[in-house]
Structure 1
Amino acid sequence: MSVEDFEELVDKAPRELRNRLEFLGGRLCIRHGPLDVDEFEELAEAAPETVRLEYINGKVVVKAMPDGNHGEIFMWLLRQCMQQRPELNLMPERGVKAEAYRKGRARADGFLAPVDHFRGHGEWSETDGALMAVEITSHDRDTDQRDRKDKPVGYAEADIPVYLLIDRDNNTVVVYSEPKDGRYQQSPSYLWGATVPLPPPVSITLDTEALKNYAD
């Protein structure tokens, strides 16, 4: 997050939240205790397009803007999903109510669900009926905590059947499945180039050879 983005966020934020926002060490910080979910939603709704906010473990975090390789990887996955399961949509940049009691607010890079599933939804969708959440790591300092630690828990607690993590730092694909008691019971990891089976209810097989083209 840049200083300019922070200043624009403060300018657009609800008046009662403006004096609680700080920018320290390149990170967005909240003064006077954490925001609650309703306050976060107000702030996220007012945020400029260049600032993508999430609410994870009771903390407001800024999700990095995607670069070109990130976008190409998403399109690669979208094509595979459409070819094998045309009755499903892989919705990009979908806000979802994650974590226990739906208290978290995550912006999944992709959210797989039946066609028309999101019709009539607001900014944050319930996870009922969703098949898979997708995250593609970005090269920012928060990706380890956010994508590899917090989101497997948040998505499992929301009973999303499959969480697909495409890890650009390790050149791996991790398939989390079988959520139970707030944890995924299975999480096999595959090197880019492997054939990756996504378990039911997704039931898609990924040929990941093309991911080698996007190794950074």
Structure 2
Amino acid sequence: MTRELPMCEQDEVAPHPTRNYATVLRAVYAEIDPPEGYRVEIVEGQITVSPTPAPAPAHAYITGLIRSAVDAGLPNEFGAYENLSCEEPEIDCYIPDLAVWPRELLRNETHWALPGGECLLAVEVTSPKQARRDYAKAAGYARSGIPMYLLVDRQRQTCVLFTVPEGDEYRERHEIPFGKPVTLPLDPPVTIDTAEF
């Protein structure tokens, strides 16, 4: 199931950059020291600076509910972590609100960003005026081979679960309205109660 991303009239999709541009952009990105309360990502080949979501109580509350449900159902070798950098293979580098990683990887990794190919689940909870960016991240998460991307669209009051990555898109997309349970096909499956979202 494929649908067009919600976009503002001012938004344009940037062409995917060349490898040389990607190398330079990542080098610049690695040197940026954002001001307190902000985070820096590379989305669609462009460096973006945005406020960290933590100060927004509703955002933090939803992220916490998801983390509790996911952590409770994960095998011991995996954990759910907030705000860790995730590199996709082309150029982009994201900081998912929540992601599931192998614990061993976090214990031994020394690089500033984790390889997206090691992530089992990425979660983004939208903030006002940034929903389009979170939808655009689906392409990079798919390129990384992340099996599941859960997008909680607070404005539309819908959870969007992307699964079955292939190239730079997910072959399956399921929209679940707030109030209905969302089942993540982890091993074992984890069900998130969205009634409190």
TM-score of the two chains, using structure 2 as the length reference: 0.80
Q: Report the Cα distance in structure 1 between the residues aligned to 2:158 and 2:117, rounded to whole angstroms.
A: 28
Distance 1:72 1:134, change over 3 A: same
Deviation at 1:86, TM superposition (A): 5.0
Two-structure CA RMSD over aligned residues (Å): 1.9
CA drift at 1:63: 2.6
1:81 and 2:70 matched:
yes
114-123 or 54-63: which moved more?
Answer: 114-123
Q: Which is strand-richer, 1 or 2?
A: 1
Judging changes above 3 Å, is the alpha-carbon distance between structure 1 residues 86 and 181 closer, same or farther for their aligned structure 2 residues?
Answer: closer
Gaps of 5+ in 2: 1-20
State whether residues 64 and 138 of structure 1, in contact with CA within 8 Å, keep that contact through their aligned partners in structure 2. no
Alpha-carbon distance in 1 for matches of 2:145, 2:187: 13
1:209 matches 2:195: yes
Aligned-partner Cα distance in 1 for 2:163–2:30? 29
The amino acid across from 1:120 in the alignment is N
Q: Which residue of 1 aligns with 2:61?
A: 72
DSSP-derived class of the 1:94 partner: coil
122, 125, 146: which one pairs with 1:133? 122
Over 3 Å counting, the alpha-carbon distance change for 1:145 and 1:41 in structure 2 is same
Residues 152 and 50 (structure 1), Cα distance of their counterparts in 2 relative to 1, 3 Å cut: same
- Work out whether residues 130 and 160 of structure 1, in 8 Å CA contact, stay in contact via their aligned partners in 2: yes
Q: Of 87, 93, 98, which aligns to 2:83?
A: 93
Deviation at 1:144, TM superposition (A): 2.9
2:85 alignment partner AA: G
Which structure has the higher relative contact order (CA within 8 Å, separation 6+)?
Answer: 2
Judge conservation of contact 1:172–1:191 (CA < 8 Å) in 2. Answer: yes
Extract structure 1 runs of 4+ deviating beyond 6 A.
none
Percent identity over paired residues: 26
TM-score by length of 1: 0.74
Contact 1:131 1:202 in 2 (8 A): no
Match of 1:138, SS? coil
Aligned length, in residue pairs: 172
